[in-house]
Amino acid sequence: MKKETLVTHQPQVALPKGNTPVVSPIYRSVKFTYPTIEASLGAEASAHGFDYSRDANPTTRQLELLAAELQDRDDAIAVATGMASIWLALLGNLACGDRIVIFTETYRPSRVAVRELLPRFGIEFTMLGIEDREGIERTFAREDTKLVLFESPTNPMMLVPDIAELVALAKRHGVTTVLDNTFAGLHSHGRFEIDYYVHSMTKYGGGHGDTLGGMVIGSTERIAALRRLAVNMGSTMDPGVSFLMLRGLKTYYLRYRRHSENAQAVAEFLSQREEVERVFYPGLPDHPGHALAARQMDDFGGVLSFDLRADKAQTWAFIDALELFATAASLGSTESLVSPVDLYQGGDLSAEEAAQARIRDCTVRLAVGIEHIDDLTADLEQAFRKVFA
């Protein structure tokens, strides 16, 4: 073989039988082959074989199976971002003439998808306050209502809807439930009869703020119903990213619990400050959803919001004065982040909608990282001193 040929047909290293790597390899290959066409068409190949990585890839499949198990379900589809997972769940379950229910208290790009983009395809929406039980019941009862997309806790104000009640109502009216479970995490809410869980794996899944990814999780049948659309739409997760997600997930529980402990301590610290009017964190006993969250959630999570006794300029000065908390909109990675809620999370809402969602220009959201708690409270302390002295 000429060396020009050799570099494209490189020597293969097969492991001896019984010799396995402790960490699974990354299958970067886009294509998979068989020695004969006959073998590629056999029962074994159709059931378990790989062909083209947009359709399926062993590394990504390993991640899908792990995510499904963490969420107490049978199957999952890994996609390129959290938003792609939301789009897949919506497009796979809605058709022209259908109606979707969404809540004001929802991640902003999800609202944009439902309010601005879905109507282009003839899919109508009703946006309600998540505490509007009567409105929910009335809209679920409509013939054309097919799906509800919701979060718990809600982004960014940390409201805690009663999941069991919402699911029971949806079931009664044949409405498909999609829970964006990004905040509560892959280990939470598995016991509820949710049809589809969607996750931004960019957050606690990857955990280090260096990978984008999404996951749709459900029963074997529900995931099978979406697979063709996912493969055809082509929003597949890259196997290199799947590998980093698998690595990140090894420390998932350690990180999630540390995020939660730190967020609890920060919430308690902020509750004592006279510059703070109100703290929104389900782990605080005076949070209206605390008892429900304590029953529903396994941990209270790493995100909290609070209102300062301040105007907008002073609020922005406080955010700018923070040194350890970087001003950015994400969450679930090792470092702490801060964001002005009305600017980052509420920009598409009318004044009435923002008021209903409790978003004010003095509202600040923290995504608490895994640093030492003393450094986090010291940073908040120095920012209070600098701005409110």
What are the angstrom distances between the C-alpha of 63 and each of 116, 218, 305?
32, 14, 32
Output the residue with the shortest Cβ distance to ligand PLP.
82
**Residue with token string 């996951």:** 215
**Interface residue with ligand PLP, options 182, 264, 333, 336 (CB under 6 A):** 182
**Interface residue with ligand PLP, options 56, 68, 78, 83 (CB under 6 A):** 83
**Interface residue with ligand PLP, options 40, 81, 251, 327 (CB under 6 A):** 81
Binding to ligand PLP, residues 185-214 (CB under 6 A): 200, 202, 212, 214
CA distance 325 to 371: 10
Q: Is 287 left (phi over 0), alpha (psi -120 to 50) or beta?
A: beta
Measured from the CB of residue 148, what is the shortest distance to ligand PLP in angstroms? 15
Query: How many residues make contact with ligand PLP (CB under 6 A)?
Result: 14
Tokens found for residue 253 = 């529980």
74 is catalytic: no
Edge-to-edge strand list for the sheet holding 124-128 = 75-79, 214-218, 196-200, 176-180, 145-151, 99-103, 124-128
**Interface residue with ligand PLP, options 56, 73, 75, 82 (CB under 6 A):** 82
Measured from the CB of residue 329, what is the shortest distance to ligand PLP in angstroms? 6
* CB-CB contact of 42 with 259 (8 Å): no
Measured from the CB of residue 137, what is the shortest distance to ligand PLP in angstroms? 25
* Interface with ligand PLP, residue 314, by CB under 6 A: no
Indicate the burial class of 162 (C-beta count within 10 angstroms; 0-12, 13-18, 19 or more): middle
List 34, 51, 54, 171, catalytic entry: 54
* CB-CB contact of 200 with 221 (8 Å): no
Please state whether the peptide bond connecting residue 156 to the residue before it is cis, i.e. omega within 30 degrees of 0. yes
Measured from the CB of residue 305, what is the shortest distance to ligand PLP in angstroms? 13
Residues 123-162, mask of contacts with ligand PLP (x by CB under 6 A) = ----------------------------x---x-------
Q: Which is nearer to ligand PLP, 239 or 332 (CB)?
A: 332
Binding to ligand PLP, residues 233-292 (CB under 6 A): none
* Interface with ligand PLP, residue 219, by CB under 6 A: no
Q: Which is nearer to ligand PLP, 200 or 242 (CB)?
A: 200
54 is catalytic: yes
List 75, 180, 195, 342, catalytic entry: 180
Indicate the burial class of 91 (C-beta count within 10 angstroms; 0-12, 13-18, 19 or more): middle
Q: Which is nearer to ligand PLP, 214 or 302 (CB)?
A: 214
Determine the 3-state secondary structure of 165 from DSSP: helix
List 73, 99, 111, 203, catalytic entry: 203
* CB-CB contact of 192 with 164 (8 Å): yes
Helices and strands counted in the chain (H then E): 16, 12
Residues 370-389, mask of contacts with ligand PLP (x by CB under 6 A) = --------------------
Q: Which is nearer to ligand PLP, 81 or 251 (CB)?
A: 81
Q: Please work out, in degrees rounded to the nearest 5, the angle formed at the alpha carbon of residue 171 by the alpha carbons of 165 and 172.
A: 90
List 73, 75, 107, 342, catalytic entry: 107
CA distance 203 to 210: 10
320 is catalytic: no
**Residue with token string 């016991």:** 191
Measured from the CB of residue 152, what is the shortest distance to ligand PLP in angstroms? 10
Measured from the CB of residue 221, what is the shortest distance to ligand PLP in angstroms? 25
**DSSP class of residue 114?**
I
* CB-CB contact of 170 with 141 (8 Å): no
Q: Please work out, in degrees rounded to the nearest 5, the angle formed at the alpha carbon of residue 325 by the alpha carbons of 321 and 326.
A: 90
Q: Which is nearer to ligand PLP, 71 or 200 (CB)?
A: 200
Binding site for ligand PLP (CB under 6 A): 81-83, 107, 151, 155, 180, 182-183, 200, 202, 212, 214, 330
Residues recognised as catalytic:
54, 107, 180, 203
